[in-house]
Amino acid sequence: MISEKPRVRFAPSPTGYLHVGGLRTALYNYLFAKHNNGKFILRIEDTDRTRLVEGAVSNLIETLKWAGLEYDEGPIIGGNYGPYIQSERLDLYNKYVKELIASGRAYYCFCSTERLEKIREEQQAQKLQPKYDKHCLSLSNDEIQAKIANGESYVVRLNVLPDEKIRFNDIIRGDVEFDSSVIDDQVLLKSDGFPTYHLANVVDDHLMKITHVIRGEEWLSSTPKHVLLYDYFEWERPIFAHLPLLLNKDRKKLSKRQSDVAVEDFRDKGFLPEALVNFVALLGWTAGDDVEYYNIEELVNKFSLERVNKSGAVFDLDKLTWLNAEHLRKKTTPEIVELIKKEYSKTTYTKVCSDELFAKMVDSMRERIEFAHELIEKCPYFFETPTDYDMEVFKKRWKEDSPILLTKFKEEISKLENPTKEDYDHVIHKFAEENEIGMGKIIHPLRLAVSGVGVGPGLFDILDIVGKEEVLLRIQNILDKFK
RNA sequence: GGCGCGUUCGUCUAGUGGUUUAGGACAUCGCCCUCUCAAGGCGGAGAUCACGGGUUCGAAACCCGUACGCGCUACCA
């Protein structure tokens, strides 16, 4: 347990949807905060106006909520360190950038994109690392004022001094060292007046009293820039933790070209939030025991950054699916009934089913489905009379005496009054005994008659769910068809 | 190209110098259970711990090098 209460943040850009990698980052932040009685903060990094997508912020918040990751401070609910949307904090960035300029740690740059491109090409041709050449650093104060007064467009750049070692510690990766000579004079303030990620991130993390920066590994290379900024401002650096990346099957960064990456895609496919969260937690972290099934409380209890892995993890849909089935089966019958009802309302079936009937369906199928919607897909015969039959099963199971047996059996059922599942069980056993046949002789044809297929839940369950009158009808149907 | 990070069964991983003939989970295969299909139980196959050097009585574990992979290298995050 960390002694001081940590404050961590998840800081996505609202570019459309929540990526599963983002969900994992958010989750680790959340787990770390909750485990240590700290705060989990949501901050929207919308400084790139060209990539802004309408509705993305509310979608992000809604998706986070679906996953069970409620934030303590952030947009809508507020907090003591707001606003939590960067586009509403422009004056702050401006103020701090001026400080940096005054101390010589940053400078105005009026270079055109054409010039920037040209020097970049030249450097690449010479196999040099592309870097800004500090051309505008030599501008005098008067020149700068004149250009600004003249309405020339400018950016503000970080003044990186060469030949310095920039060192920092990362909880996951240990000590990391960069030479400042490889670091570009990063643009801090763009010509449209918006800050870049690097400036906004550092200013906000400091102002919001963020203690631990937990983010994806793609940020590791720019961390020295951030460290420099903290040092220039004379601010205390947060503790860094760079998480391993989530990978496709080909071990490349998880991308939407190859698979689903949006959390909402998984939600729409019927994955349970607790399963997705459980799965994603295990991608790069383990408690060290052999437990794989966790609910969110257990994750909070066991989580620690020290046990996060260093190497990237391939997203394996098979394992996610297995976990989904595990979580689904741990639910109570009424809980699953609610899920089924939601799915059922999306279908075109007209049969009216009571909760009690749905409950019977769930109990008969819970070991046989990995997703709630599979119950409906696998058992159309729960909702309508079969019109055709699986001929493979027919060939295998329909014997010469099947019509006679079914006809006789139909009479037995007719005699039953309000039969229960146990009554069906009893009557079939008795029937097999009296006719001196194996159970299979009656069960298989009957299953085909009643469901049209050869697989499914226990036959007594099907009979009970379908109901006596419908069972009689279905037996007659198959007899008519194959007499 | 430069810089950084990584590398244990197909996949997620356990492993912090001897308890390791490298353990578990998913997937896969077989058997049992059984009215079918699942679930469950049992079992099998699957990793020369990327490679090469060291250090050590002893290395998957520590050090160095190489290879490979990934990330960054934008007025994107």
Interval A261-298: pLDDT, tens: 999 999 999 999 999 999 999 999 999 888 999 999 99
Tokens, residue A476: 């007659």
What pLDDT, on the 0 to 100 scale, is given for residue A436?
Answer: 87
Instruction: Tell me which protein residue sits closest to nucleotide B7, measuring alpha carbon to C1'.
Output: A311
What pLDDT, on the 0 to 100 scale, is given for residue A177?
Answer: 93
What pLDDT, on the 0 to 100 scale, is given for residue A454?
Answer: 95
Sign, CA dihedral A369-A374-A378-A382, equals positive
Segments in A112-262 forming alpha helices (H):
113-125, 141-149, 197-207, 223-233
A12-35 pLDDT tens trace:
999 989 999 999 999 999 999 999
What pLDDT, on the 0 to 100 scale, is given for residue A235?
Answer: 97
> In a 3-state reduction of DSSP, which class is residue A243?
strand
Tokens, residue A483: 């007499």
A347-390 pLDDT tens trace:
999 999 999 999 999 999 999 999 999 999 999 999 999 999 99
A45 CB below 7 A from strand B atoms = yes
- Helix (H), strand (E) at residue A162: none
A408 CB below 7 A from strand B atoms = no
A213-CA/B15-C1' distance, Å: 28
What ipTM did this prediction achieve?
0.95
A26 CB below 7 A from strand B atoms = no
A456 CB below 7 A from strand B atoms = yes
A343 CB below 7 A from strand B atoms = no
A21 CB below 7 A from strand B atoms = no
A12-CA/B18-C1' distance, Å: 48
Task: Determine the nucleotide nearest to A188 by Cα–C1' distance.
Answer: B75
Q: Are A69 and A30 in contact (CB under 8 A)?
A: yes
Residues in chain A: 483
Is the pLDDT assigned to residue A7 strictly greater than 70?
yes
Q: Which residue has the tokens 């740690």?
A: A105
Of A95, A118, A256, A481, the active-site residue reads A256
A397-CA/B31-C1' distance, Å: 25
Q: Is A360 a catalytic residue?
A: no
Please give residues of chain A from 262 to 301 whose alpha-adjacent beta carbon (CB) lies under 7 Å from any atom of strand B: 282-286, 288, 290, 292
Instruction: Tell me which protein residue sits closest to nucleotide B1, measuring alpha carbon to C1'.
Output: A127
User: Which pTM value belongs to this model?
Assistant: 0.95
What pLDDT, on the 0 to 100 scale, is given for residue A2?
Answer: 57
A101-158 pLDDT tens trace:
999 999 999 999 999 999 998 888 888 888 999 999 999 999 999 999 999 999 999 9
What pLDDT, on the 0 to 100 scale, is given for residue A249?
Answer: 87
Is the pLDDT assigned to residue A483 strictly greater than 90?
no
What pLDDT, on the 0 to 100 scale, is given for residue A21?
Answer: 96
Q: Are A465 and A451 in contact (CB under 8 A)?
A: no
B/e letters for A308-321, b = 16+ CB within 10 Å, e = fewer, are: beeebbebeeeebb
> Which band of pLDDT confidence, cut at 50, 70 and 90, is reported for residue A3?
low
A464 CB below 7 A from strand B atoms = no
Tokens, residue A286: 């383990």
Omega of the bond leading into A273 within 30 degrees of 0 (cis):
no
**Directed axis angle between helix A468-481 and helix A402-415, to 10°?**
160
Is the pLDDT assigned to residue A449 strictly greater than 90?
yes
What pLDDT, on the 0 to 100 scale, is given for residue A255?
Answer: 79
> Which band of pLDDT confidence, cut at 50, 70 and 90, is reported for residue A229?
very high
Q: Are A366 and A329 in contact (CB under 8 A)?
A: yes
CB atoms within 10 A of CB A340: 24
B/e letters for A10-39, b = 16+ CB within 10 Å, e = fewer, are: bbbbbebbbbbbbbbbbbbbbbbbbbbebb
Report in angstroms the alpha-carbon separations of A417 from A367, A409, A467, A471. Answer: 30, 15, 11, 13
What pLDDT, on the 0 to 100 scale, is given for residue A125?
Answer: 84
Rounded Cα gap, residues A38 and A209, in angstroms: 12
- Helix (H), strand (E) at residue A40: strand A39-42
Rounded Cα gap, residues A478 and A471, in angstroms: 11
Mean pLDDT of all residues belonging to chain A: 95
